[in-house]
């Protein structure tokens, strides 16, 4: 049996928004971020692993500027097209270079992501990167899967973590320097499995860089 290959996200961009489960998740996460964080029109925000902008473009009208970061050119092309169609002039796409995760050098008021953490092997290193990218007093908001048994993804290639234990992730965030770390359940994804429908909770981690 041949080894499974990681998803080509650039090729997937053309049909990415057609999955109703994915759009429902993005809507729920955007609503949770808007509800749980003090958004304002002066914010410089960054979305890490933005994909086609399913989450970020919903929130962009509430920011002064949104930097949308991804390592898949096809995803960023789709995002830029959608931003133009929506008349959003405050969105900039930034292609992450090959190698370890990186951010454009600028202090941000908010860094957020949706279903990206479980693709990155070095969680502690990524949290430290986010900490350095935020200005003092700024907010981190990360949505991802609660710990699961590996059954969520049909293709395990490119998956670094089968979700996260909230207490362990809290400890990593605090070790990176964040304070006021808390979690809310943002959504629940239901998938058909042999035993019947199964729900997978999605958390939103919220934290602050000390002022």
- For 155-175, the pLDDT digits (tens) are 888 899 999 999 999 999 999
Strands (E), 40-151: 44-48, 65-70, 91-95, 108-114, 134-145
- For 55-96, the pLDDT digits (tens) are 999 999 999 999 999 999 999 999 999 999 999 999 999 999
Residue with tokens 């991802």: 144
Reply yes or no on whether the pLDDT at 147 is more than 90: yes
**Residue 101, Cβ neighbours under 10 Å: how many?**
18
Q: Residue 4 — pLDDT band, cuts 50, 70, 90? A: low
- Predicted TM-score (pTM) of the model is 0.95
Task: Report residue 190 as tokens.
Answer: 């239901």
Give the mean pLDDT of 178-199. Answer: 93
Report pLDDT for 135: 97
Task: Name beta bridge partners: 127.
Answer: none
The one-character DSSP state at 154 is S
With 0-12 CB in 10 A as exposed, 13-18 as middle and 19+ as buried, what is 26? Answer: buried
Reply yes or no on whether the pLDDT at 123 is more than 50: yes
Report pLDDT for 1: 39
Report pLDDT for 3: 54
Phi/psi at 158 (5° precision): 85, 5
Please, what is the average pLDDT of the chain?
95
Compare 1 and 49 and report the one with higher pLDDT. 49
- For 22-35, the pLDDT digits (tens) are 999 999 999 999 99
């Amino acid at each position: 049996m041949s080894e499974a290959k990681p998803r080509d996200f650039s090729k997937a961009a053309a049909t990415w928004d057609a999955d109703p489960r994915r759009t429902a998740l993005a809507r729920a996460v955007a609503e949770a971020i808007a509800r749980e964080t003090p958004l304002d029109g002066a914010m410089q925000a960054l979305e890490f692993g933005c994909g086609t902008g399913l989450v970020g473009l919903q929130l962009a009208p509430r920011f002064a500027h949104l930097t949308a970061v991804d390592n898949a050119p096809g995803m960023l092309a789709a995002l830029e097209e959608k931003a133009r169609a929506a008349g959003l002039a405050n969105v900039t796409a930034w292609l992450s270079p090959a190698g370890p995760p990186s951010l454009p050098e600028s202090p941000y008021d908010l860094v957020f992501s949706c279903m990206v953490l479980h693709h990155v092997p070095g969680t502690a290193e990524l949290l430290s990167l986010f900490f350095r990218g935020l200005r003092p007093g700024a907010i981190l908001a990360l949505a991802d899967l609660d710990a699961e048994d590996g059954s969520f993804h049909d293709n395990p290639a490119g998956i670094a973590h089968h979700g996260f234990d909230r207490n362990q992730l809290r400890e990593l965030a605090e070790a990176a320097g964040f304070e006021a770390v808390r979690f809310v359940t943002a959504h629940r994804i239901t998938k058909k499995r042999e035993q019947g429908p199964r729900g997978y909770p999605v958390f939103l981690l919220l934290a602050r860089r000390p002022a």
